[in-house]
Structure 1
Amino acid sequence: MDPSRPLLGRGALLSSSFHAAAGFLVVVLLLLTLLRFPLSISPHAVSTVSDQKLSQRICDPTSPLDCADPQLFHLMMRSAIDTFHAVHFSRFGRPVPGDPPSASCDMAWRARSDSDSPSKATTKDYRRFAIARHPVTCAYSVLSIGDYHSGPNARKPRRVATNATIAPPPPPALSRSQFAQGAYLAYLGGGDRCKPMPHYLRSLLCALTEARYLNRTLVLDLTLCLAASYAAPGTGGMPEEGKRLAFYVDVDHLHSQFAIIEGTKFWADWDKWGVQGQLGARLIEDTRLAPIKFSKARDTLIVRKFGDVEPGNYWYNVCEGEAKRVLRPLRPAIRWAPSLMHIVNNIISRMQADFDSVHTGGNVDDLSQRIQEGVDGGRQVYVAGIGVNSALVEALKAKYRVHYLDEFEDLWGTDSKWFLEMRRLNGGVPVEFDGYMREVVDREVFLKGKKKVEVLQ
């Protein structure tokens, strides 16, 4: 034994001069110790020790849950998979304490809603799990899983929120030599502004198709005028200038398919270098002149100028007549803005993908009967189109789980991802969720239904 180590009694440390006495005391103390703790343990003692261990395992229902416990994490994952049969999960986030932290955990995941969908994109959800603990064994059980986006503590902070009012940076400026080496096509004037969006998109596709045929960069105004029919309520029902193309169309995808330069930037450079006569320009005022007639032109700029008389001054006329043989606009070149498709995907996620859809073209009196003829009872039904209102939907709820666009208005509310992205694109100015945005989202959700029923007057 180490002589410097304290003994089990109250004795002081012994010096080396009293070895014999120390040895005697050690023997005595060992005997006393053995007498105080018998070698055999009585049944009563066993019961006491077991009770102590059991009391240590009893859970305190008021204590915070250990949401980081791997057993609880795996239980929550299994519960989500078992509950949402139509959802195809790709990744789960780590659970975090919910509210109250003593009885809930929040967990996020990424998933695909429909295995039959051609898009493989995933959407994100985060939900609150109500957790119970056995008072004796501490075993976990999931009591319930909350609704869509019910677990905000598992939501990652939006990085765009801090700079949501900052406009995207302008593209780098071209040097004179870079500008002069380019070949450009510009459309000026015409009657395409403030027309219905399908009209505008048809003309835009024609211009893009001709520019690609001529191997030229299209000079494009990335703002447009929205027709009065799409104006948001409270705006006076007038056409709205200054709408950005990126509100509706995936401009990045357009750039990947076609050579485009923003109009304001191009004309500023042209004023510096082109108007001095050092760069060639050709003016074409006849929309019937097919591009094959000037495809060999070496001018830096070709301008198609459109007159004031409609309908002969529409851009899409360029792709008609003789030019139709070589200019074939491809509709798939236009993709909807990611911000709008985010709303579409979230609506589908909330309906858990297994739904049918109905499109109505008016306030149909016998809508319920006509839906009943095409949709099985008990199904989730998304009703799209004109004339859909809460009273019409309520009449259908006796037999169907009915949904419609205004039910999901939080997806474009002032704290939504869509709202922040639109404000960023618009230089910090808020954007209204206008009539054409509603039309795009409504139609895209309708097209995702497993069974699609048209109910028109």
Structure 2
Amino acid sequence: MKDESMSAAESPLGQNIIKLISNLCFSFFVVSVLVFTVIAITYQPPDPWLDSSRAITSSLSDTLPNSTFHTDDSLLTTGEDLVPLPPSPSPSSVSADTPIFLAGEICNPSAAINCSDPHALDAVRRFTAKVFFRRSIVFLSYEPPVAGASPGECDVSWRFRNKREKSWRKYRDFRRFRLGVTENCTYEVSSMGKFRSGVNARAPPLKSPSDPMAKARTVEIVDNEINDTIPTVGSELEFKTGRYLYYSRGGDYCKGMNQYLWSFLCGLGEAKFLNRTFVMDLDVCLAAEYTSSGKDEDGKDFRYYFDFEHLKESASVVEEQEFLRGWRRWDRATRGKKGVGGKITARKVPTYKVTPMQLKKDRSTIIWRQFDGPEPENYWYRVCEGRAAKFVQRPWQAVWKSKRLMDIVSQIAGKMDWDYDGVHVVRGGKARNKNLWPNLDSDTSPDALVQKLLKVVSSWRNLYIATNEPYYNFFDKLRSHYKVHLLDDYQEMWGNKSEWYNEMRELSGGKPVEFDGYMRVAVDTEVFYRAKTQVETFNNLTSDCKDGINTC
């Protein structure tokens, strides 16, 4: 009974203490809120991003000149450089994503357009960004607009790359735009011309010094972004200190291009494994399957088909004739002389059975592989077979298609505004061989193509057909459903007045170069690869196997 009375007496005191603590905490919270509110009202932060646009511009002007990173004209203009600049009092730095308001004294919708006005370029940039938003084009840089053919027209040139291409090579386009001034005083593009329609924005023509008819006609400037000049060996001393791997011509010469590349990359891979410079023959023999004469044709140039500039950047190579000249110069310099380090040491390797691993520690200046045996003993790729395949890696990334051919690819895709679908129709000899491909001919007939393509490609789309079918009118039934494009529709791109034709003449010393079968296959395939929808013969059109019956 005594314990119960004491507990009752202590209970009010405990509750009072708890109430007192709660009141103190609440009072502290209220005071803190009042203090923070007063500070927020009376204090003006010096943060320029919370201030006016004038403060933003002043802050950036003070910061950027003192930063450690400066942009200049020598830097490649890429996507991030096209991000709109912060607001500026200058009318030349208006965002490309917002309307361009003109000054009151020139706000006249009927006034002539001044193409040199920076606002004109901003309007073009806004327009192209909308048009090509869902296409595979990345704009890299723009040139200042120039006047078009009539008032209100401006021609604009730009550099771009295609996201479907693994390389970062740049291509060019120049188009004609019709501009106007709207009632609310903004520049606006009303229409854009087709690919390379803005001829006034292209580089001015130059006369070709190697052309005997230079006075009668002009040619376009060659692509100044291509540097496929042949590197020199250097002085005799530089030649002596080098280490080389030299392959004599073997049985791969005049074989198909696939075998040529397989063998060439074997030699290039062995040179990399041995840490040597590969001596390469720029002379290529084109197999009969790619020639109009139906016979093997030698005397072709590696640079006709592949990007020599990229190869030089990706691997250590020297051209064969330059290499042999350097070798002869050294021999003449050391003939009958003493104390010059002796002659060049060269180890001849007569058979592919001497493996790259056995040559790894060889200190000879030149390792000279000779392929004098009968076929297939004299194929270069035999060096990389067997155990050597575990050590020698073919540098596929070193070989790209020629930029001159890829320029044609870009032009064809550009003519369709990079908005097209593609179908690859394999016919030719395979369609005639019923034993290996019993259904191919009927599965790729005009009626079958119409029936199958209408299920996967919308009507009246641009449809590019990559094919080896020689009969041009074979696909006429598709023209009732699609805007059909074939490689032969673009013959002007390699004709005798084309940019490609003139550039190839510069490369060949003034001789005309034929647009041969391998070039056709390369361009046809690359245009197809850039299509939005790709319909393959052996995956989509026929149940036959690509390599013949029972090989699927």
For normalisation by structure 2, the TM-score amounts to 0.63
Q: What code does the residue aligned with 2:330 have?
A: W
State the distance in 2 between where 1:385 and 1:378 align: 20
Q: Deviations over 1:154-194 (max 9, x none)?
A: 212256x6457699866445333222222222112321111
Q: What code does the residue aligned with 1:398 have?
A: S
State the distance in 1 between where 2:162 and 2:363 align: 52
State the distance in 1 between where 2:450 and 2:129 align: 34
Q: More displaced, 204-213 or 356-365?
A: 356-365
Counterpart of 1:270 in structure 2 is: 327
Q: More displaced, 316-325 or 249-258?
A: 249-258
Q: Find the partner of 1:94 among 144, 149, 171.
A: 144
Contact kept? 1:388, 1:404, Cα under 8 Å? no
Cα separation, partners in 2 of 1:378 and 1:119, compared to 1, 3 Å? farther
Residues 15-54 of structure 1: matches in 2 within 5 Å? none
Q: What code does the residue aligned with 2:485 have?
A: H
Cα separation, partners in 2 of 1:260 and 1:137, compared to 1, 3 Å? closer
State the distance in 2 between where 1:429 and 1:151 align: 30
Contact kept? 2:230, 2:319, Cα under 8 Å? no
Q: Which one has more relative contact order, counting CA pairs under 8 Å at least 6 apart?
A: 1
Q: Find the partner of 2:239 among 174, 179, 182.
A: 179
Q: Find the partner of 1:257 among 296, 314, 321.
A: 314
The Cα RMSD (Å) is: 3.3
Cα separation, partners in 2 of 1:189 and 1:108, compared to 1, 3 Å? closer
Cα separation, partners in 2 of 1:70 and 1:391, compared to 1, 3 Å? same
Q: Deviations over 1:22-66 (max 9, x none)?
A: xxxxxxxxxxxxxxxxxxxxxxxxxxxxxxxxxxx8969xxx754
> Secondary structure of 2:478's partner?
coil
Work out whether 1:147 is the aligned partner of 2:147.
no
State the distance in 2 between where 1:65 and 1:319 align: 65
CA shift, 1:290, in A, is: 0.9
Contact kept? 1:362, 1:387, Cα under 8 Å? yes
Q: Find the partner of 1:355 among 417, 420, 439.
A: 420
State the distance in 2 between where 1:357 and 1:282 align: 52
Cα separation, partners in 2 of 1:143 and 1:387, compared to 1, 3 Å? same
Counterpart of 1:109 in structure 2 is: 158
Counterpart of 2:512 in structure 1 is: 430
Q: What code does the residue aligned with 2:174 have?
A: Y
Q: Find the partner of 1:200 among 246, 260, 285.
A: 260
State the distance in 2 between where 1:141 and 1:425 align: 43
Q: More displaced, 161-170 or 269-278?
A: 161-170
Work out whether 1:126 is the aligned partner of 2:197.
no
CA shift, 1:118, in A, is: 4.3
CA shift, 1:140, in A, is: 7.5
Structure 1 gap segments, 5+ residues each: 1-56
CA shift, 1:104, in A, is: 3.3
Contact kept? 2:315, 2:398, Cα under 8 Å? no
Q: What code does the residue aligned with 1:155 have?
A: R
Cα separation, partners in 2 of 1:109 and 1:255, compared to 1, 3 Å? closer
State the distance in 1 between where 2:517 and 2:508 align: 18
Q: More displaced, 83-92 or 257-266?
A: 83-92
Q: Find the partner of 1:312 among 377, 383, 394.
A: 377
Residues 373-388 of structure 1: matches in 2 within 5 Å? 373-387=455-469
Q: Deviations over 1:126-145 (max 9, x none)?
A: 222345789x9999875533
CA shift, 1:226, in A, is: 1.0
State the distance in 2 between where 1:216 and 1:110 align: 37
Counterpart of 1:282 in structure 2 is: 347
Cα separation, partners in 2 of 1:67 and 1:242, compared to 1, 3 Å? same
State the distance in 1 between where 2:407 and 2:185 align: 41
Structure 2 gap segments, 5+ residues each: 1-107, 212-221, 336-341, 429-443, 543-552
Cα separation, partners in 2 of 1:142 and 1:328, compared to 1, 3 Å? closer
Q: Find the partner of 2:276 among 208, 211, 216.
A: 216
Counterpart of 2:295 in structure 1 is: 238
State the distance in 2 between where 1:342 and 1:287 align: 39
State the distance in 2 between where 1:132 and 1:226 align: 54
Q: What code does the residue aligned with 2:144 have?
A: R
Residues 381-420 of structure 1: matches in 2 within 5 Å? 381-387=463-469, 389-420=471-502
Q: What code does the residue aligned with 2:409 have?
A: V
State the distance in 2 between where 1:359 and 1:283 align: 47
Contact kept? 1:248, 1:437, Cα under 8 Å? yes
CA shift, 1:299, in A, is: 1.7
Work out whether 1:325 is the aligned partner of 2:390.
yes
Structure 1 outlier segments of 4+, above 6 Å: 136-141, 164-169
State the distance in 1 between where 2:237 and 2:194 align: 59
Counterpart of 2:37 in structure 1 is: none
Percent of counterpart pairs with the same letter? 37
CA shift, 1:81, in A, is: 4.0
